Structure 1
Amino acid sequence: MPKNSQIRYGGALHWTVSHKDGMGSMLRSRMRAAMAALTFLTVLWSGVATGDTPMPLRLGLVKFGTVAWEIDTIKRQGFDTAAGLDLRVVDLANPEAGKIALQAGAVDMIVSDWIWVSRQRGEDERIAFIPFSASVGAVMVPADSAASSLADLKGKRIGVAGGPLDKSWLLVRALAMKEHGFDPARDSRPVFAAAPLLNQQMQAGQLDAVLNYWPFAARLDALGFRRLLDVNGIAARLGVGAEMPAIGYVFREDWGRRNAEAVGAFFRATLRAKEVLRTTDAAWEPLRPLMRAEDEATFAALRAGYRAGIPSRWGAAEKEAADRLFAVVAELGGAELVGRGGRLADGTFWPGVSIPDGP
Structure 2
Amino acid sequence: MRILARARWLVGVAALLLFAVLSLCVGPAGAADRPVVRVGVLKFGTVTWELDTVRANHFDDEAGITLQLVELAGNPATQVALQAEAVDVIVSDWLWASRMRAAGTALSFIPYSTAVGALVVPNGSPIRTVGDLKGKRVGVAGSPLDKSWLLLKAVARDRHGLALEREAQAFFAAPPLLNRKLADGEFDAVLTFWPFAARLEAEGMRVVASVADLLAALGLSAEVPALGYVFREEWAVKNPAALAGFQRATARAKSLLADSDSAWDRLTPLMQAENETVRLRLRDRYREGIPRRWGAEEQAAAARLYTLLAGLGGRDLVGDSPVIAEGVFWPGPAPNLAP
Q: CA deviation at 1:353?
A: 3.2
Tell me, in whole angstroms, the C-alpha distance in 2 between the residues paired with 1:189 and 1:295. Answer: 32
Query: Which one of the candidate residues 238, 247, 253 is aligned to 2:218?
Result: 238
Task: Note closer, same or farther for the CA distance 1:253–1:290 as it changes in structure 2 (3 Å cut).
Answer: same
Tell me, in whole angstroms, the C-alpha distance in 1 between the residues paired with 2:336 and 2:37. Answer: 23
The aligned amino acid for 1:200 is R
Q: CA deviation at 1:352?
A: 2.0
Q: Which has the larger radius of gyration?
A: 1
The reply on whether 1:228 has 2:246 as its aligned counterpart is: no
The reply on whether 1:167 has 2:147 as its aligned counterpart is: yes
1:290 is aligned to 270
The aligned amino acid for 2:321 is G
Q: CA deviation at 1:122?
A: 1.1
Tell me, in whole angstroms, the C-alpha distance in 2 between the residues paired with 1:231 and 1:284. Answer: 25
The DSSP-based 3-state class of the residue aligned with 2:314 is helix
- Give the TM-score normalised by structure 2: 0.89
Query: Which one of the candidate residues 108, 118, 126 is aligned to 1:146?
Result: 126
Q: CA deviation at 1:258?
A: 0.6
1:87 is aligned to 67
Tell me, in whole angstroms, the C-alpha distance in 1 between the residues paired with 2:316 and 2:231. Answer: 22
Tell me, in whole angstroms, the C-alpha distance in 2 between the residues paired with 1:224 and 1:50. Answer: 51
Task: Note closer, same or farther for the CA distance 1:51–1:65 as it changes in structure 2 (3 Å cut).
Answer: closer
Query: Which one of the candidate residues 102, 105, 109 is aligned to 1:129?
Result: 109
Contact 2:140 2:178 in 1 (8 A): yes
Tell me, in whole angstroms, the C-alpha distance in 2 between the residues paired with 1:267 and 1:357. Answer: 8
1:192 is aligned to 172
The aligned amino acid for 1:285 is D
RMSD: 1.6
Query: Which one of the candidate residues 300, 308, 321 is aligned to 1:341?
Result: 321
2:306 is aligned to 326
Contact 1:311 1:355 in 2 (8 A): no
Q: CA deviation at 1:241?
A: 3.4
Q: Unpaired segments of 5 or more residues in structure 2?
A: 1-28
Tell me, in whole angstroms, the C-alpha distance in 1 between the residues paired with 2:275 and 2:222. Answer: 35
For residues 278-309 of structure 1, the C-alpha deviation after alignment (integer angstroms, 9 at most, x for no partner) is: 11000000000100000010001100110010
Q: Which stretches of structure 1, 4 residues or longer, exceed 4 Å deviation after superposition?
A: 49-52, 355-358
The aligned amino acid for 2:120 is M
2:234 is aligned to 254
- Give the TM-score normalised by structure 1: 0.84
Query: Which one of the candidate residues 201, 209, 228 is aligned to 2:181?
Result: 201
Query: Which one of the candidate residues 42, 66, 69 is aligned to 1:62?
Result: 42
The aligned amino acid for 1:131 is P
Contact 1:136 1:231 in 2 (8 A): yes
How do residues 25-64 of structure 1 correspond to structure 2 at under 5 angstroms? 53-64=33-44
Q: Unpaired segments of 5 or more residues in structure 1?
A: 1-48
The reply on whether 1:350 has 2:330 as its aligned counterpart is: yes
The aligned amino acid for 2:283 is R
Q: Percent identity?
A: 50
